[in-house]
Every structure is written in structure tokens, then in C-alpha cells.
Amino acid sequence: MKHVLVCTAGPEPASAVVHHVMKVVKTFDAKMTVLHLLPRFSLVSNEELEIEGKKALKIFVDAAEKAGVKANPLLESTEDVAQGIVEVAGRIKADLVVVGAGEKPSWYSFEKKEVIGEVMCSADCPVLVIPGALKRSIFGAVRMHK
């Protein structure tokens, strides 16, 4: 694995999985492209979405810098998030796509599962799903009982 595409949905999900993603990237000694896609049609202003996207990218870029990993942030707009991820993965010749499954309200969770499933079915490379909320709750429970 030489090139890992890391997809982020915003600052909160990025914070939940960044530690685990960096372990994966370091294990493979790979370069990393961090992708945040902006939906072309949204009820939220483009400016707000872009600010949130840049915050999420910065979380990964800062962690990569600390870990000595080469990271390329990429902020793009798309009509279809799953298709956008697959297209970017092909364009950059990613060897692995990493996505996080976070904790959000039920409507978002359903949409996120659809995106993850579509990426898994359509990508030409392996897809790793890191369940951020699950990891947080498991590790938090372990720490509390020590």
C-alpha cells in the first residue's frame, strides 16, 4: 500500500478516527490524501460547508505532520458523495480507501451506510471502515474501568 485515500465527513468524525487512521497509514508507510467532499446541493451555505471541510482536513494534516506522514488535503464538490469518493480514489490511484462510520442522528446514519456500501461495491481497491463512535465507546469504557 503506497497511497491511502482518507475520507472525512467533518471535524467531529475526523477527531473520532484520526488516531486509528494514522496507525493504518504509518503501518503501510504510505502517503495519504485526505478528502472532504462538499455536496453541490445543500440546505447549508457553501461557505459554512467549506469552513467545516477545511477544519476536518486540518485535523488529519496536523496529525500527519506530527507522525511524519506526507498528507495531501483535497476539498472538492460533488453531486454524489459515494461516486465522488470512488472517482477520486481512481484518479489518485489509491491502494486503500479509509472511511469512518461515526455517531449521528438516525437519518444521517442511514445515508452514511448507503455511502459506505456504495463505495465498498464500486471502488477498485480495498475499503477500510473505521467505526469511530464504536471505538470511542469501547476504549472509553476500558479506560474508565482501569
Better-predicted residue by pLDDT, 20 or 101 = 20
Write out the H or E segment, with its range, that includes residue 45. none
Please state, rounded to an integer, the average pLDDT across all residues of the chain.
Answer: 83
For the chain, the domains span 3-144
Q: How far apart are CA 60 and CA 9, in angstroms?
A: 12
Better-predicted residue by pLDDT, 46 or 17 = 17
Q: How far apart are CA 88 and CA 35, in angstroms?
A: 8
Q: Grid coordinates in use for 112?
A: 452514511
3-144 carries CATH number 3.40.50.620: yes
Listed range (55-59, 79-83, 115-119, 139-143) with the worst mean pLDDT: 139-143
Q: Are 121 and 85 in contact (CB under 8 A)?
A: no
Cα 127–Cα 95–Cα 19 angle in degrees, nearest 5: 60
Question: pLDDT digits over 91-141, tens only?
Answer: 999 999 999 875 543 334 334 558 888 999 999 999 999 886 444 444 444
Q: Grid coordinates in use for 63?
A: 496529525
Q: Are 5 and 85 in contact (CB under 8 A)?
A: yes
Give Cα separations from 34 to 106, 125, 142 (angstroms): 26, 16, 30
Q: Are 33 and 94 in contact (CB under 8 A)?
A: yes
Listed range (1-5, 29-33, 47-51, 124-128) with the worst mean pLDDT: 47-51
DSSP code, position 93: T
Quick one: average pLDDT of 40-66? 87
